[in-house]
Amino acid sequence: MKFTCEKNTIQKEIAVSQEIISTRNALSILSNVLLVAEDGRLTIKATDLKVGFETQIPADIAEEGSTTVFCDKFLGILRALPEGDVEFEQRNNRLEIRPLFKKIDFQLKSIAGDKFPELQEISDDRFFEIPQRDLIDMISQTIFAVSDDETRYYMNGVYLENLDGSLSMVATDGRRLSLIQEDFEIPIPEFDPIIVPPKVLQLLRKLSSGEGNLRMAVGEKNIFLHFDKHKITSSLIEGQFPNYKRVIPEQQQYDITVDRLLFEEAIKRVSLLVEQKSRRIYLNVSANTITLTSEESEIGVAKEELECNYDGPEMTIALNYLYLTDPLKVIQEEQIMLRFTEPNKAITLLTKPEREFFHIIMPMQLD
């Protein structure tokens, strides 16, 4: 095998591969990346047996072939090379790496490509297309609410289901819930609801150009995503996702409308003096006024007052401030609403005008 390609182009894809693969054992084939040179392009594959990654880049192929190399060291070598084209040649169980126009020569031990595990595949007729940009928005509105409690592994991913032809994504950690539902006005095949690991969704969000459509297929135990020149497969999380519909309030009596940016900036300032273990802030609402306060501590106390649109009784609500700032970071609308009934019952955060998503936050106890 012998080929030449541009250094930054291959380095970018090898860096993605390194994020995926297992690094527990440098001698394991799973710590290697597969390189296949044929038909005027280089195919790169990586897997940890749960997530699989495949991409293609242009290359000048002098001799077709395949091999695998230890990804971590391969990436380190690429980063150390000067800019420009690099020649790669497989000889005697070693991959020789030589930048053109420079007298630099690396030889990296390799393992035969036929020992690399096959990536999961699914038939073409199982795929459907949706806009990349819309799916990225769905991921952004939910992924931060995924639980990191490994004892409740069934909440360690994003719940994806087909609701009467619309795609719905839900994430919860038991103290908050984020939901978005998109109607793409295209036929979406029926599939049983699935729980998608956040790793594959973060990878999709990172690699996606946001342009054009993405092809998705759902198998019995895997999800398949094809977009741009990338292919990603991932095993699903097995288990029973909580009945999230039970925690969605059917009706809430009061609502506050406030400028999103002013509200977000006020939370950031008040949170500077928040006790970092509880992360508790207080929202005191009265006629057209919302006051944010940190808990008084040995360090001090912070307080900020904002104008809002509110017509209801004076009330104080305690919240984890991150449960507010996380969704506010990904909301674009100028105004947001907080709906509630009592200080100890669920609060719904949504936009004004309302869009296809909302976030539910459980309040903390008042001291």
Q: How far apart are CA 319 and CA 331, in angstroms?
A: 19
The full length of the chain comes to: 367
**What residue spans of the chain are helical by DSSP H?**
7-20, 71-80, 132-140, 198-207, 260-270, 322-330
pLDDT, mean of residues 88-102? 95
How many alpha carbons lie under 13 Å from residue 166 in its C-beta half-sphere?
Answer: 11
For the segment 155-206, what is each residue's pLDDT rounded down to a tens digit? 999 999 999 889 999 999 999 999 999 999 888 999 999 999 999 999 999 9
Predicted local confidence at residue 33, as pLDDT: 96
Laid out side by side, the sheet with 303-307 consists of 303-307, 289-294, 280-286, 315-320
CATH architecture of 249-361: Roll (3.10)
pLDDT of the residue at 320: 96
Mean pLDDT confidence for 226-252: 95
Model confidence pLDDT, tens digit, residues 285-319: 999 999 999 988 888 999 999 999 999 999 999 99
**List of residues 6+ apart from 122 with CB closer than 8 A:** 217, 219, 222, 224
The pTM of the whole model exceeds 0.85: yes
CA atoms within 13 A on the CB side of 76: 8
State the pLDDT at residue 277. 87
Query: How high is the pLDDT of residue 298?
Result: 83
The pLDDT of 226-240, averaged and rounded, is 96
pLDDT at 29 over 60: yes
CB atoms within 10 A of CB 254: 15
In this predicted structure, what is the pLDDT of residue 28? 81
CA distance 130 to 185: 10
Alpha-carbon torsion, ordered 164, 168, 173, 174, to 10 deg: -30
- Asked if pLDDT for residue 27 goes beyond 60, the answer is no
pLDDT of 367 strictly over 90: no
Beta strands per DSSP E along 142-279: 158-163, 166-172, 176-182, 194-196, 213-218, 222-227, 230-235, 254-259
| Residue 214 · residue 182 · CB < 8 Å | no
Name which of 226, 259, 208, 203 is nearest 48 in CA terms.
203
**2-115 belongs to which homologous superfamily?**
DNA Polymerase III, subunit A, domain 2 (3.10.150.10)
CATH 3.10.150.10 in the chain, residue ranges: 2-115, 128-244, 249-361
CATH topology of domain 128-244: DNA Polymerase III; Chain A, domain 2 (3.10.150)
Question: Is residue 230 scored above 90 in pLDDT?
Answer: yes
As given in the structure block, the two tokens for residue 110 are 């390799």
Residue 95's closest CA among 105, 85, 82? Answer: 105
Of 11-20, 86-95, 269-278, the poorest mean pLDDT is in 269-278
User: Would you tell me how many other CB atoms lie within 10 Å of the CB of residue 189?
Assistant: 12
Distance CA 78, CA 15 (A): 10
| pLDDT more than 70, % of the chain | 98
Query: Chain-wide mean pLDDT for the chain?
Result: 95
Q: Which two tokens stand for residue 326?
A: 């996380």
pLDDT value of position 276: 84
pLDDT digits (tens, 9 = 90+) for 203-229: 999 999 999 999 999 999 999 999 999
72 contacts: CB under 8 Å, gap ≥ 6: 18, 23, 26, 31
Q: Reply yes or no on whether the pLDDT at 24 is more than 80.
A: no
| Residue 354, token pair as written in the block | 């309302």
Query: What is the C-alpha to C-alpha distance for residues 218 and 215, in angstroms, rounded to an integer?
Result: 10
